[in-house]
Structure 1
Amino acid sequence: MQIENLGSLDRKMTLQFNRADINQAREARLTKISKSMKMPGFRPGKVPKKMVEQQYGMQVDFEVQYDKATQLFYELSKQEGLKLASQPRLEPKSEIDADEIVFDAFFEVLPEVKIGDFSASELTRYTTEVNDPEIDRALDVLRKQRVHYHSRGEAGDHGDGGSDTSAQKDDQVTIDFVGKIDGVEFAGGKADDFQFVIGAGQMLPEFEAATLGLKKGESKTFPMKFPDDYHGAEVAGKTAEFTVTMKDVAWPHMPPVDEEFAKSLGITEGGVEKMRSEIKTNMDREVKRRTEALLKNQVMDELVKQCPLDVPKSLITGEQERLMEAARNDLIQRGIPNAKDAPIPPEMFAEQANKRVRLGLILSDLVKQQNLTATPEQIKASIEETAATYEDPKEVMRWYYSDPSRLKEVEAVVLEENVVKHICSLAKVTDKAVTFEDLSKMS
């Protein structure tokens, strides 16, 4: 046995064994074939051994030689204490009928992980306090999701929208429009009874601006230049003349924050106070999730930075394939046409795969070195925290503990939390207060 270093992680092992070492396995396999072999003129299992040998001898030689080489490779790898990153690629170096059989096994080994010094690492731990202004903003978002519109000037239960009946920001307008370029109408440039909300970004800013101030029944003609990168290539960069006729102007009415509004959100008891309390609870939970994710991302980036290592190409390729499969499954679930056959270039995932494999190797070594494995108590506490957000926590607990794969997912999360705590204990961590709105914009 001989091992050659072909690169930082690439190795070649030369394997040798005698034909006598595989004769017994060869005979056993030929005997098995003969018992089921069918040939005209012979009953099943009664084909002469010589004929079996003639038809299947070379195939069996290949099989038993590869099997023996594979077995020998793993035995010798264990003896040498090799940490394998991939299965071997076996290449025969001798003739099929040679007495001394030789194979070259090409493979990769796992890199040595050297955990760096984190004493100079700087991390930011974000903090956010959910107070009344944040809750009010969240309520405004919920109210806007339930907005409905009334035509301006028409009295109703919610009023008439005021004396000004012209189109204003946030109004929903209904228009007819026609656009022409060099006096000729173009595809997609005409519509009747078209609705949009001014300021929602559905239309180009210049188009929205032209509708501001128009009253029902009024028309306006104006030029508008399409952006050079406009998605409609036939009009991109060109100037069109649009004529817009206002058919209706409707003002937005958002429901007031009262008991009825609380009931619309599923709050059957406790009214507005209970609603605000539940919104705060949900926002606090979101703050916890986001701040923990931001800190974890910093820690993972620091691990990659402080622990440089070579990554086995075979592991990166395998991770790319998993990411490609996940992307394809996502397309299929979203109902994308021809998702099963859509080309997905592996290069799209090269950087992501490299980082994931690199982190996996570092985390595996760090967890072993520092004994950061998730304990059963930690796993239980994590599940209990999740279960507490549901109506029937006991049922959620049962759901997790009924499937080992779900427990593995929780274990992985807890393990990462242990790593984050460990690195934070070594690094310089600065607390920084941010608003809920700013936190929501961070990724």
Structure 2
Amino acid sequence: MGKAKFAGFEEENRRNSVKVEIQETSQIVRQVEVSIPWADIAKDFGAHFQKYAKDLHIPGFRKGHVPRSIVQRQFGKKIQFDFFQDHFNKFYVEAIKQAMLEPVSEPKLLELSFEEGSDLNFTITVEVIPNFELPAYKDSFEISVPRYAIEDSDVEEALNKIAEQRAEMIDVEGLAEAGLTANYTELRPGEELGKAYQFEIGHSGEKRAAEEFIVGMQVGETKEVEIGGETVSLTLNSLKKKSIAEINDEFARSLGETVKDLADLKEQLRRQISSHWENEEAKARDLKIREYFINALADVEIPANLVEGYTDDMLTSMEQKYNYGLKGKAELRASLRPQALQELKWQLIKERIIDLEALEVKEEELDERIEEMLTGVESSQQESYRRYYQQKEAKNQIRFHYQEDKVMKHLFSYAKITPVDVNREQRLKGEYK
């Protein structure tokens, strides 16, 4: 037998002699007791002992020539513990493999028993993904989903918004009042040139400190007022109001060649509004499906380190997107944690369904999805978009959403849906989502 084959046989024989016992102390914690026969580690320990003794210097003895009995008596426990630390990763990997565990946390050492000439025994705990059963959804599960009613007032509101967006701003005389757009200059102490501002008087979300002083002023008027403890000079430069066109056939045709008249415009808007709320219904349906499964597994524990890690990722993403500072970071993190827990549960549920139903997204499916996405892109730009979508990060994002779609379609086929009619007033109040 060659050396390589003999070494492989020796390694396999050693693995078989290692004893591993597992205790399930909770849904997510496994206690692993490991016992390694002295015969399996004697050679490695001997080499470790000699290396330690070789570098040891004790008065009265030449370096590397200290009697073994003295080394053992004075440094035996340290040598034994150092040996365990140096070889722990190998012992740990072997034990976890034999126990067929997939830890999601670092191991915690609970107990260690080891002396030269005796078996090495240690006990650790690790966290694992919980084992859970999916609800019997194939027997049909019930969810309530909103069915949004589209009313004439929705179309009228959309028409008015278009007209307002296309309104002309015209100069007006008289006093500044709510509904007018004021252009004014603030001149603060020490400034040679003031700063010009413009805002709509009385418009929610645009309340300014100067607004109460602007109201009642005339164009060209200047007054000195106190703002924030400073004397500020305010000059009203202009007042404008919106001139909104009459909504009629002529207005409708001005929006483009595809619009025949006002009736046609209203019909197009109704279709757009209906499409929007149909998408919202689909989102609500998917959310209800998620909630059904997450609630069914409410008692399933999730390893804390996974929740904390996911929360950290969410926080980092929000900081990058919205440029959050450190202020309020702890409070924000605490508010994100419940969402992280729900997201992790849903990911575990999805993975279980994908495995059981063989719903993995295949590469050819992914390529087909990318080609579908390119149909709305101009032919001259399709190749550059294709290269972008084929990049690892972009492709993984497409895969993620496609996988979500496949799972949702699968679950939707078993769902018993009860529509709940939601009128415009309820929709605007957010009474049902």
TM-score bin (small chain): 0.5 to 0.7
Match of 2:282 among 292, 308, 312: 292
* Matching residue of 1:355: 342
Q: 1:396 to 1:175 in 2, by over 3 A?
A: closer
Q: 1:63 to 1:149 in 2, by over 3 A?
A: same
The answer to whether residue 377 in structure 2 is matched with residue 374 in structure 1 is no
* Matching residue of 1:390: 377
The answer to whether residue 193 in structure 2 is matched with residue 172 in structure 1 is no
Q: 1:329 to 1:356 in 2, by over 3 A?
A: closer
**Unmatched 5+ stretches in structure 2:** 1-19, 57-62, 188-193
The answer to whether residue 34 in structure 2 is matched with residue 15 in structure 1 is yes
The answer to whether residue 238 in structure 2 is matched with residue 248 in structure 1 is yes
Give the drift of 1:281.
Answer: 9.8
- The amino acid of 2:83's aligned partner reads D
The answer to whether residue 82 in structure 2 is matched with residue 73 in structure 1 is no
Match of 1:310 among 282, 297, 300: 300
Q: 1:260 to 1:6 in 2, by over 3 A?
A: same
The 3-state SS of whatever aligns with 1:196 is strand
* Matching residue of 1:201: 204
Give the drift of 1:73.
Answer: 1.6
The answer to whether residue 125 in structure 2 is matched with residue 106 in structure 1 is yes
Asked whether the 8 Å contact 2:145–2:281 carries over to 1, the reply is no
Give the drift of 1:77.
Answer: 1.2
Partners of 1:139 and 1:388 lie apart in 2 by: 34
Asked whether the 8 Å contact 1:22–1:64 carries over to 2, the reply is no
Give the drift of 1:301.
Answer: 0.7
- The amino acid of 2:158's aligned partner reads R
- The amino acid of 1:293's aligned partner reads K
Cα deviations by residue, 1:77-120 (Å, 9 ceiling, x for unpaired)? 12xxx464544323451146462111102023433322224535
- 103-112 or 191-200, which deviates more: 191-200
* Matching residue of 1:420: 408
The 3-state SS of whatever aligns with 1:388 is helix
Report the TM-score when normalising by structure 2.
0.64
Q: 1:389 to 1:175 in 2, by over 3 A?
A: same
Q: 1:219 to 1:296 in 2, by over 3 A?
A: same
The 3-state SS of whatever aligns with 2:219 is coil
**Unmatched 5+ stretches in structure 1:** 40-47, 154-164, 179-190, 222-231, 236-242, 263-269
More helix by share: 2
Match of 1:123 among 144, 162, 172: 144
Asked whether the 8 Å contact 1:19–1:101 carries over to 2, the reply is yes
Q: 1:325 to 1:367 in 2, by over 3 A?
A: closer
Cα deviations by residue, 1:331-377 (Å, 9 ceiling, x for unpaired)? 256555669x9667753332122212211222222222233333456
1:229-244 equivalence runs, <5 A: none
- The amino acid of 2:98's aligned partner reads L
- 104-113 or 191-200, which deviates more: 191-200
Partners of 1:138 and 1:371 lie apart in 2 by: 48
Asked whether the 8 Å contact 1:112–1:309 carries over to 2, the reply is no
Asked whether the 8 Å contact 2:182–2:201 carries over to 1, the reply is yes
* Matching residue of 1:5: 24
Q: 1:430 to 1:385 in 2, by over 3 A?
A: farther
Give the drift of 1:14.
Answer: 0.9
* Matching residue of 1:301: 291
- The amino acid of 1:322's aligned partner reads Y
Q: 1:378 to 1:166 in 2, by over 3 A?
A: farther
Asked whether the 8 Å contact 1:25–1:64 carries over to 2, the reply is no
Q: 1:100 to 1:346 in 2, by over 3 A?
A: farther
Report the TM-score when normalising by structure 1.
0.63
* Matching residue of 1:227: none
Identity %: 14
Asked whether the 8 Å contact 1:175–1:194 carries over to 2, the reply is yes
Q: How many residues align?
A: 376
Give the drift of 1:60.
Answer: 5.5
Partners of 2:123 and 2:344 lie apart in 1 by: 27
Cα deviations by residue, 1:155-198 (Å, 9 ceiling, x for unpaired)? xxxxxxxxxx44454311246899xxxxxxxxxxxx99654212
The 3-state SS of whatever aligns with 1:75 is helix
Q: 1:389 to 1:66 in 2, by over 3 A?
A: same
